[in-house]
Structure 1
Amino acid sequence: MSFKINDKVTWAGKIDWELRRFHGEEYSTHKGSSYNSYLIRDKKTILIDTVWKPFAKEFVDNLKKEIDLKEIDYIIANHSEPDHSGALPELLKEIPNVPIYCTKSGAKLLKGHYHEDWNFVEVKTGDALEIGENKLIFVEARMLHWPDSMFTYLTGENILFSNDAFGQHYASELMYNDYVDNAELYQEVIKYYANILTPFSTLVEKKIDEVLSLNLPVNMICPSHGIIWRDNPLQIVNKYLEYARNYQENQVTIIYDSMWNATRRMAEMIAEGIKSANSDIAIKIFNSSKSDKNDIITEVFKSKAILVGSSTINKGILSSTAGILEMIKGLSFKNKKAAAFGSYGWGGESVKIITEELNKAGLEVVNEGIRELWYPGDEEAQRCKTFGENFAKTL
């Protein structure tokens, strides 16, 4: 499958309708994804990125239907990760000497992935490649979200090929932001940012400011996953700036796991207390052993505060709680308050452990947490409500 974006640019990627897990098992893709590769025809012919390895042969076969492979003058590798570069070995069997333009780090990482000494041409921000009527301008985007990431800008057509930035794991044959369901689209946008780009928010803001300072007109943004931004394309740039600046909504997210529903009861009572103190706050409650971890992280990203709870087990906490805390710690969320809660039968270490992990994650822990022995009765439930009320007053 391929389709013309305009007279010079053709999409030559792959829509992956069945994809449900990405980065191994680390990222859920409820809406599938796409691997966007772009063919530019000017006086020179350029291929920007490829597709994931499982679709490599299909990609090369489809590319042959679109163009004689020997007509490809240059390949641009904006990013070395295998979902973008996976078809390079198959393609370069056919055209082994074609120059591959990438960052210095990109060449190093591509060699690390494929152990091939291809014809790499290393570029840096501001370098340009004359291709005929137009030219390509390269902009390094280090740590957005890998060390080798790069943007490529096509003059004349005013298209920014942004690789992972501004993308989404979202399969749609409609392919453009003005065609798809924007509620679905932006849910995948915020999920992608929350789970992948949050640790690099400071770099996101600096890089966007740098790109905007170039005063390049942008008619279209073509990422490497999901849809193409052609209707007011800078809307996604402005949304990223919003996300990068310690984004939060008027929301509290409560995350827990429970063995015999005692900690679940605490979560619900704490929520009641928060709501009674401030009815305008949106409250979302998730059992971390039953809810999708990336969906939970998305809600954490949106929240001004979180509460995390677990039963005590073997002097520790339940595994799903430990897992979500590890994700929260790795994502380096900013400007969020937090507290711990949990039930216990004898040891009761869970609240202390969770509090320590919340501190390690850099969240503002507002109190020492609350723990209750066995299943909360009326008196214990009221304590949890009061805890929620007091927590709400810190927001």
Structure 2
Amino acid sequence: MNNVRLAEGVYYVGAVDWNLRDFHGYTTPRGVTYNSYLVVDEKVCLIDTVKAPFAQELLDRISQIIDPGKIDYIITNHIEPDHSSALPIIKAHAPQAKVLLTEHGRNGIIKHYQQNYDFQVVKEGDTLDLGRNKLHFVPVPMLHWPDSMLSYLTGEQILFSNDAFGQHVSTTKRFDDENDLSEVMYEAEKYYANILMPFGKNVVKTVDKLKTLPVRLIAPSHGIVWRSHIAEIVAKYQDWGQGKAVNKVIIAYDSMWGGTERMARQILDGVAAAGVTGKLYKMSTADRSEVVRDILEAGGILIGSSTLNNGMLPTVGALTTYLKGLRPAGKIGASFGAYGWGGGSQNAIEDMLKGAGIAVDQPGLSLKWVPDNEELNKCFEFGREFANRVLARI
């Protein structure tokens, strides 16, 4: 098997899932990896495992380097099953291995797998002496689960970052500079937007902690290993965590009989006339996770829907519910849409935008049935006014 050596005594032993297309809520057209790393020093340490269906592949990769029964320590940086569900299988082959994790992690592993392993709970500042190298543990609760932790290997200066700095991309090349950087950064942005966006404050705190560490490699649990573009991805995380935005407006809508769609296209023209980049997504055909990736750096969000049963269309409701959980920072928003008799979708959209922490201080635009020429002009001005407000904030 093609085991990749990251540094002296440090190996990639994870698995590539080329066929997965949905990762608990967002699409993964480039597949997924479950990264696991083996450190062979005076003591042998496995850092994270893989998703259970790939446990045999993990064992085979380890076996090419060392007998799995010689593993002394297993680090569980995060208990989510894509990282930990192979743990019971690995423990069956390395029964003497001690499992190191946070207190939340210990409780979670017991609950997930009904096993009380030989645990060692670690906290901020704790270290593990492996021989030539030491592992330093950096708990990062709510990045993105309460148990989340980073592990830093001295000597080789490798940060095992688990879900931070990851991407969902399958490749036979393990390092950033061996792959198409634009593709990797695109997937890193999409990953952050759909997984880590609600935890921006914690991201900034984590990046601040990393400033004190010399880091030669960042080895996440998904995607490629960063070695040539570490400064770029860390800077991006700093910006994303702070909610920095660019002069871009995302218009996401759905339409029943075409009235709201005509509004959306005219609003887009108004946004463009103000000199702001606009993107248009019809939610009955758009990929929600791709829309959210675009929203990450946008200064403004306009959401439109026809009225259905006094509320918004289900496709738009799914997006606003998703956004309410992600809570994008530093955005302004507004609503628009056509209705037949009673209306109601605009109020429902505004409530959801406010619930997502998006500032709604421009009145929405509601029109009856299909917009006439005068109303299309109103749509154009609505878009231009909103775009100017975005420019004023950037």
Q: Counterpart in 2 of 1:386?
A: 381
What's the offset of the Cα at 1:384?
1.1
What's the offset of the Cα at 1:233?
2.3
Instruction: State how far apart, in whole Å, the 2-side matches of 1:381 and 1:154 are.
Output: 60
Q: Counterpart in 2 of 1:32?
A: 31
Instruction: State how far apart, in whole Å, the 2-side matches of 1:221 and 1:194 are.
Output: 19
Instruction: State how far apart, in whole Å, the 1-side matches of 2:163 and 2:215 are.
Output: 17
What's the offset of the Cα at 1:390?
2.2
Q: Counterpart in 2 of 1:50?
A: 49
Q: Counterpart in 1 of 2:341?
A: 346
Q: Counterpart in 2 of 1:235?
A: 232
Q: Counterpart in 1 of 2:272?
A: 275
Asked if the contact 1:136/1:153 (under 8 Å) is kept, the reply is yes
Q: Counterpart in 2 of 1:5?
A: 6
Asked if the contact 2:69/2:95 (under 8 Å) is kept, the reply is no
Structure 1: segments with no counterpart, 5+ residues:
none
Give the residue type in structure 2 aligned to 1:155. Answer: T
Q: Secondary structure at the match of 2:46?
A: strand
Asked if the contact 1:143/1:200 (under 8 Å) is kept, the reply is yes
Asked if the contact 1:154/1:160 (under 8 Å) is kept, the reply is yes
What's the offset of the Cα at 1:232?
4.2
Number of corresponding residues = 389
Instruction: State how far apart, in whole Å, the 2-side matches of 1:382 and 1:234 are.
Output: 46
Asked if the contact 2:240/2:297 (under 8 Å) is kept, the reply is no
Q: Counterpart in 2 of 1:329?
A: 324
Q: Counterpart in 2 of 1:201?
A: 200
Q: Counterpart in 2 of 1:16?
A: 17
Structure 2: segments with no counterpart, 5+ residues:
none
Give the residue type in structure 1 aligned to 2:380. Answer: K
Give percent identity, aligned residues only.
44
Counting only pairs closer than 5 Å after superposition, residues 25-174 of structure 1 correspond to structure 2 as 26-174=25-173
Give the residue type in structure 2 aligned to 1:53. Answer: A
Q: Counterpart in 1 of 2:291?
A: 296
1:244-266 CA-to-partner distances (Å, cap 9, x unmatched) read 11121110000001111211111
Instruction: State how far apart, in whole Å, the 1-side matches of 2:246 and 2:35 are.
Output: 32
Instruction: State how far apart, in whole Å, the 2-side matches of 1:139 and 1:313 are.
Output: 49
Asked if the contact 1:99/1:121 (under 8 Å) is kept, the reply is yes
Give the residue type in structure 1 aligned to 2:9. Answer: K
Asked if the contact 1:355/1:368 (under 8 Å) is kept, the reply is no
Shift >6 Å, 4+ stretches? none
Instruction: State how far apart, in whole Å, the 2-side matches of 1:387 and 1:157 are.
Output: 55
What's the offset of the Cα at 1:141?
1.1
Instruction: State how far apart, in whole Å, the 1-side matches of 2:314 and 2:11 are.
Output: 47
| Greater alpha carbon shift after TM alignment, 79-88 vs 372-381 | 372-381
Instruction: State how far apart, in whole Å, the 2-side matches of 1:210 and 1:66 are.
Output: 33
Instruction: State how far apart, in whole Å, the 1-side matches of 2:163 and 2:384 are.
Output: 41
Aligned-residue RMSD, C-alpha? 1.3
Instruction: State how far apart, in whole Å, the 2-side matches of 1:43 and 1:164 are.
Output: 28
Asked if the contact 1:218/1:234 (under 8 Å) is kept, the reply is no
1:307 pairs with 2:302? yes
Q: Secondary structure at the match of 1:116?
A: coil
Q: Which of 243, 253, 276 is matched with 1:256 structurally? A: 253
Q: Secondary structure at the match of 2:318?
A: helix
